[in-house]
Amino acid sequence: MREKIVILDGYSVNPGDMSWKDFEKLGDLVIYDRTPVDEIVSRVGDAPIVITNKVPLSGDTLRRLPSLKYVGVLATGYNIIDLDVAKELGMVVTNIPAYSTDSVAQMVFALLLNIVQRVDMYTDEIRAGEWSRCADFCFMRFPHIELAGKVMGIVGFGNIGGAVARIARAFGMDVITSSSKPAEELPDYVRKVSMDDLFRSSDVVSLHVPLTPATRNLVNAGRLALMKTTAILINTARGPLVNEHDLADALNNGKIHAAGLDVLSTEPPREDNPLLTALNCFMTPHIGWATAEARTRLLEIAADNLRSFINGQTVNNVIK
């Protein structure tokens, strides 16, 4: 008997350029582009299988879905699921590890290179005629920064942190990390330091840790005060790792040079988010993971996770 499969927010992962065929083979598929929280229960109904990207499943919601057996999260992070209640109810919750490693590492350097070279600004000014009116063969609006010889501080050294380290090394940067991994498990070109030493020493700090109670507001006024006034902060991990008011203050008062952010604490951001008007703050709308290649891998792994569950095995189960 084919089980009912409900996808709560398919559009964010597949806006129409991918196929759901692997899921269609596994059951009777119902896809919603987006699902408001107050419609989750009615849409899921008696379905035993739910797939979600960012639609949260609270403990109360899970208790109101007695037929639910499996929750597949279309992401690496799974903080949108109340795991304690899911475990209590005997559910399986899976995630998608490591699908976006290269894409997110690429976004780190897209943000960083734009900050140190300002390709966006020069393109706009050239189109506005500034180069055509220039008396010289080139014009410079601010000092450019060479990455070779600078220190890249990587907070967390999982798959993405490791990929960022390899790219940083290719640019000629010195790499340090505050990872929980033992020093002997790190590449020989990576030096392990304390968290505070990392913030003091780095020319670029790139965040690559999950969001937990211990890492929330990891970057705050105290840590920002440790940083060089020329330093750059990059966050492609989770928005709440950064205290946004403290970061806006640091940018507006020249305490650090710039920030490149692919994530914010609330997404989409509220109009009063102080980073929207902060100086030298460069943002993208949480798209580091969203290359076509990464999304293809995501859907393939998600279908494999579900296929394994249907066949009586579980892979990538986040409930221990």
One-letter amino acid identity for 255? K
Strands 27-31 and 3-7: parallel
286 included as an active-site residue: yes
Query: Of the residues 88, 267, 293, 300, which is catalytic?
Result: 267
Query: Of the residues 118, 208, 223, 238, which is catalytic?
Result: 238
Q: Which residues are registered as beta bridge partners of 174?
A: 151
| Long-range pairs, 183-192, Cβ under 8 A, ≥24 | 186/157, 187/162, 189/165, 190/154, 190/157, 190/165
Please name the residue ranges forming H helices in the chain: 21-24, 40-44, 59-63, 83-88, 101-117, 119-127, 159-170, 195-201, 221-226, 244-252, 292-310
Query: Of the residues 118, 286, 295, 297, which is catalytic?
Result: 286
**Coil, helix or strand at residue 155:** strand
Between CA 213 and CA 11 the distance in angstroms is 30
Cα 236 to chain centroid, rounded: 5
293 included as an active-site residue: no
Rounded to a whole number of angstroms, the CA Rg of the chain reads: 22
* Residues annotated catalytic, as ranges: 238, 267, 286
